[in-house]
Amino acid sequence: MRRIISQPYVKVERKIKDFEQITMEYREHLHLYEDRIVTRDHVFLVKNVHDMSFRRFSSTEGVLYLHTNQGVFPYSVPKEPNGFIDEYKKLRG
């Protein structure tokens, strides 16, 4: 199955090590295929994603929300995901 579009996102993990909080940032991608959306930690079938929304925090950065039958999954995105959302909506009809 070919990838239609990818959207970068940032995953932040915080850990305590030797009584110090360590913050790790990972640069990842959401990948949209004809039948699924793949992230670092999840695979969502397109038919189980009911909607997507975006909330902006600065001129381009914000949070992309995937509304699924398993709940809402937020992804911090460094740029507006308009193209990603548009391609998803084309698949959903």
| Closest by Cα among 26, 46, 29 to 37 | 46
What is the structure's pLDDT at 44? 98
Collect all residues with Cβ–Cβ distance below 8 Å to 72 and sequence separation of at least 6: 65, 66
CB distance 52 to 64 below 8 Å: yes
Q: What are the boundaries of each domain within the chain?
A: 3-92
% pLDDT > 90, the chain: 90
pTM of the model: 0.88
Q: What is the pLDDT of residues 5-50, one digit of tens each?
A: 999 999 989 999 899 999 999 999 999 999 999 999 999 999 999 9
Collect all residues with Cβ–Cβ distance below 8 Å to 88 and sequence separation of at least 6: 32, 37, 46, 49, 52
What is the structure's pLDDT at 70? 95
Q: Tell which CATH architecture fits domain 3-92.
A: Roll (2.30)
